[in-house]
């Protein structure tokens, strides 16, 4: 159910209404949808909630038909803008995230951060807790890597996105990260979703390899139902019968997610294709499909990268891509 409030409603009334909702046995999630204030009440009993219709400031009570009680366009019609300091993700903005798959050393992350910062990139990616298929593969620099990220964050004024994989890594990473990333393999690690939902950090949620659009939105719902509404969705390729690409980047998901949800949608052509030469055309295609941004793996020495070298761009290659996607973003406006 959703309570639609008068535009002039006061913060006190909203608080009061949430309290009343809670007394009835449900949970209210206030949201500002354009100029209108609303309170979403997932899975609420219509009869019980109806009594609130008479409260001063309440305009209407409507039913939300989708299972995405907080993530759907029904719940909020206007695009959500996730603000990371002075960087806005969503709406009309084109967000660019770049950096190496993994933080490998102080010097490695510093050199790539400097180059990306010079080009105008605002958000740096870099994994320190790495979920790898093999227990014997490089598992990330962990807290040491966070320290290096903290350094470049300070030095270049970059925002940092990094992956968390459990409560331990979450505890440490949230000290440094501006955006917490949930990787594809953990998209249905519901306990982890609840944990990041309890933080006040934006969360980038990557689509699982066999997750439907519906599954992805339900996982976003897990984060949001804990009170954290700053969720960014990320299409990064699904697993299909085609083996010529590492994954099948499913760009159809972009316009579809934008239709179904108010959350920003980012595309990751690096993991989505796994092939360096395909990263630029698919980044362009993602933006043309309407993505709010791209996340691209960039490494100063891809041949010697500890992970994902095959799909990493050199800074100069990334710069070409960067120019091109900006031109496309203008062309489709």
Write down the least CB distance from residue 11 to its own copies, Å: 26
Write down the least CB distance from residue 93 to its own copies, Å: 18
Write down the least CB distance from residue 297 to its own copies, Å: 16
Write down the least CB distance from residue 214 to its own copies, Å: 7
Closest C-alpha among 146, 151, 103 to residue 298: 103
Write down the least CB distance from residue 113 to its own copies, Å: 27
Contact 17, 26 (CB under 8 A): no
Question: Within a 13 Å sphere around the CA of 277, how many CA atoms are in the beta-carbon half?
Answer: 2
Identify which of residues 82 and 329 has a Cβ nearer to its own copies in the complex.
329
Nearest 5°: the CA angle 196, 199, 200 is: 125
Identify which of residues 88 and 328 has a Cβ nearer to its own copies in the complex.
328
Write down the least CB distance from residue 165 to its own copies, Å: 5
Q: For residue 18, what are its two tokens?
A: 């949430």
Closest C-alpha among 109, 97, 171 to residue 140: 109
Phi, psi of 206 (to 5 degrees): -85, 140
Identify which of residues 97 and 249 has a Cβ nearer to its own copies in the complex.
249
- Give the separation between CA 125 and CA 111, rounded to whole angstroms: 13
How, if at all, do strands 82-84 and 123-125 pair? unpaired
Runs of H (alpha helix) within 51-94: none
Identify which of residues 18 and 64 has a Cβ nearer to its own copies in the complex.
64
Identify which of residues 130 and 159 has a Cβ nearer to its own copies in the complex.
130
What number of other Cβ atoms are within 10 A of residue 19's Cβ?
11
Closest C-alpha among 265, 296, 264, 301 to residue 280: 296
Identify which of residues 35 and 332 has a Cβ nearer to its own copies in the complex.
332
């Amino acid at each position: 159910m959703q309570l639609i409030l008068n535009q002039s409603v006061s913060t006190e009334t909203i608080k009061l209404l949430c309290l009343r909702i809670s007394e009835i046995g449900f949970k209210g999630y206030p949201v500002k949808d354009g100029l209108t204030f609303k309170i979403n009440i997932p899975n609420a009993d219509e009869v019980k909630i109806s009594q609130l219709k008479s409260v001063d400031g309440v305009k209407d009570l409507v039913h939300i038909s989708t299972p995405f009680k907080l993530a759907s366009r029904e719940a909020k019609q206007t695009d959500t803008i996730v603000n990371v300091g002075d960087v806005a993700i969503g709406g009309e903005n084109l967000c660019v995230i770049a950096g190496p798959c993994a933080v490998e050393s102080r010097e490695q992350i510093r050199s790539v951060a400097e180059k990306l910062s010079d080009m105008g990139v605002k958000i740096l990616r870099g994994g320190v807790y790495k979920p790898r298929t093999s227990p014997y593969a490089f598992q990330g620099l962990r807290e040491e890597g966070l320290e290096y990220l903290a350094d470049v964050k300070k030095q270049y004024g970059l925002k940092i996105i990094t992956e968390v994989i459990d409560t331990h890594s979450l505890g440490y990473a949230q000290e440094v990260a501006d955006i917490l990333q949930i990787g594809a393999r953990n998209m249905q690690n519901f306990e982890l979703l609840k944990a990041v939902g309890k933080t006040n950090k934006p969360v980038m949620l990557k689509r699982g390899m066999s997750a439907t659009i519906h599954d992805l939105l339900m996982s976003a719902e897990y984060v949001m139902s804990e009170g954290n509404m700053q969720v960014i969705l990320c299409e990064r390729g699904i697993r299909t019968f085609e083996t010529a690409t590492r994954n099948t980047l499913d760009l159809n998901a972009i316009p579809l997610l934008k239709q179904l949800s108010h959350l920003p949608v980012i595309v990751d052509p690096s993991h989505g294709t796994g092939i360096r030469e395909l990263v630029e055309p698919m980044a362009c295609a993602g933006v043309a499909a309407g993505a709010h941004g791209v996340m691209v793996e960039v490494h100063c020495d891809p041949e010697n990268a500890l992970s994902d070298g095959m799909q990493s761009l050199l800074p100069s290659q990334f710069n070409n891509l960067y120019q091109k996607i900006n031109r496309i973003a203008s062309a489709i406006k």
